[in-house]
Amino acid sequence: TSILVLNGPNLNLLGQRQPDVYGHTTLADIEKMCRDKAQALGVEIEFHQSNDEGAILDMIHAARGMHDGIILNAGAYTHTSVALRDAISSVELPVIELHLSNIHAREEFRHHSYISGVALGLICGFGAAGYPMAVEAMHRHLGEAE
C-alpha cells in the first residue's frame, strides 16, 4: 500500500505562518509524523508540497497507478479550484481532504470546499495531529477495500 500526502499553497510556511491559527509545527515535523505512522502501519508514503496549482494537478494525475490513495491539504485551492476537483474525479483514487484548522468555524469563504463532494472523507480542525489520523483512516479504508 502506498499513500500520497499532498500539500498545497503556503503550507511550506507552517510553523511561522499565523501560528495562532495553524500552530507551531512545521511541515517537516508533519512529514515525520506521517512517516512514523506509516511505518507503524507498514504502508509506504510519499510526501510533497507545492504552491503551484498546475504542479498539484500533475502530482494527482501521476498518482494513478503509483499510489492507492491521496491525503490532500489543498490550502486555499480548496475554495477556488474546480480543476482540482476534476483531477480528483479523473484519477478515481480515494482522497481524504485535510485541513489543520476547522474551515467551518472560520471566514464564510472557507466554508465551501470544491473537494469535499468528491472526497472519501474529511478531517479538519485537529491541527497537525490530523495528518497521522488521515494516514490511519486511509490505511483502514484500503484494508477494507481489498
Quote the cell numbers at residue 34: 506521517
Please work out the total of residues on this chain that contact ligand DQA, with binding judged by CB under 6 A: 10
Closest to 120 measured CA to CA, from 95, 137, 146, 92: 95
73 annotated to bind ligand: yes
Does residue 99 carry a catalytic annotation? yes
Q: Specify the residue, 31 or 64, whose C-beta has the smaller distance to ligand DQA.
A: 31
The catalytic residue among 22, 77, 114, 131 is 22
The catalytic residue among 77, 99, 131, 139 is 99
Instruction: Read off φ and ψ for residue 10, nearest 5 degrees.
Output: 75, -5
23 binds ligand DQA (CB under 6 A): no
110 annotated to bind ligand: yes
Distances (CA, A) of 146 to 68, 94, 97, 140, 141: 11, 13, 21, 10, 9
Exposure string of 52-68, with b = 16+ CB inside 10 Å and e = fewer, is ebeebbebbeebeeebb
Segment lying near ligand DQA (by CB under 6 A), choices 32-40, 54-62, 63-71, 99-107: 99-107
Which of 2, 51, 80, 101 touches ligand DQA (CB under 6 A)? 101
Distances (CA, A) of 140 to 3, 85, 134: 12, 24, 10
CB of 99 vs ligand DQA, minimal distance in Å: 4
Q: Which residues are catalytic?
A: 22, 99
Interface residues with ligand DQA (CB under 6 A) are: 10, 73, 75-76, 78, 99-101, 103, 110
